[in-house]
Amino acid sequence: MSKARVLVLISGGGSNLQALIDASLKANSSFEISHVISNRPEAGGLLRATKASIAAEALDHKSFKERAFFEDALARRIDHVTPDLILCAGFMRIMSADFVNRYEGRMINIHPSLLPNFQGLNTHARALEAGVTLHGCSVHWVNADVDQGAIIGQACVPIFPGDTPEILASRVLVQEHRLYPLCVEAVASGRAKLIHGRTFLDGLQGGIALLDNS
């Protein structure tokens, strides 16, 4: 069976991209990363892709007068590559409903909270402010409602007294690097599917759940 071809969208350092690259290189992996696109030319993740001999390019959103022009250019690049899956890995652009709907069922994102809690930005500071004792990350299908697509998997971490947003972010990031590759492998192998807006894993509604293993 041929491997699923994956395109990864990034904006920053690409630690999630690196975890995905490492997982894709394992012998029994069901996916291969064929292309990386960053909306920021200075993104460190571009170097990670190049070092892994993966085609990498920057499409600087600031060089487009309007958001729609950037999205059109990005869609042209994606459609030229014809990936089976498009992964957002630290991709910090909010895309329009038209763009997202074009790739529904093929686009996946990782978000640093236990959705539906703490959608949006500054999730770690907000979790501390809210006084919750469990936090984590979620991998979900991308749809037009930001951070509200069906969940594919979640990993949770404890919040300890004295935690700062930075400490919490680093604890969550360790779990992101476990969770994302597992979820992508499940989708690429056909174990996880999006059916009528819900995730099914091995034929049953539900997804992957990880506990902090540190």
Q: Which residues bind ligand GRF (CB under 6 A)?
A: 12-17, 45, 89-90, 110, 112, 173, 176
Q: Which of 35, 61, 80, 111 is catalytic?
A: 111
Output 8 or 187, the one with its CB closest to ligand GRF: 8
The identity of residue 173, as a single letter, is L
| Identity of the residue, 45 or 207, whose beta carbon is nearer to ligand GRF in the bound complex | 45
* Shortest Å distance, C-beta 211 to ligand GRF: 18
Q: How far is CA 89 from the centre of its chain?
A: 4
The DSSP bridge pattern shows strands 204-205 and 208-211 to be unpaired
The whole-angstrom separation of Cα 104 and Cα 144 is: 9
The verdict on whether 196 is a catalytic residue reads no
- Would you say 15 or 34 has its CB closer to ligand GRF? 15
Closest of 180, 213, 210, 192 to residue 14, by C-alpha:
180
Minimum CB separation of residue 65 from ligand GRF in Å reads: 27
Nearest approach, Cβ of 149 to ligand GRF (angstroms)? 14
User: Tokens at residue 43, please?
Assistant: 């993104």
Ranked by CB distance to ligand GRF, the top (closest) residue is 90
Q: Which is nearer to ligand GRF, 132 or 169 (CB)?
A: 169
149 is in an annotated binding site: no
Q: How far is the CB of 183 from ligand GRF (least distance, A)?
A: 13
User: What b/e sequence results for 153-192 when a residue is b if at least 16 CB atoms lie within 10 Å of its CB, and e otherwise?
Assistant: bbbbbebeeebeeeebbebbebbbbbbbbbbbbbbbeeeb
**How far is the CA of 74 from the CAs of 32, 93, 123, in angstroms?**
20, 12, 27
The residues assigned a catalytic role are 111
> Which residues are known binding-site members?
14-16, 67, 109
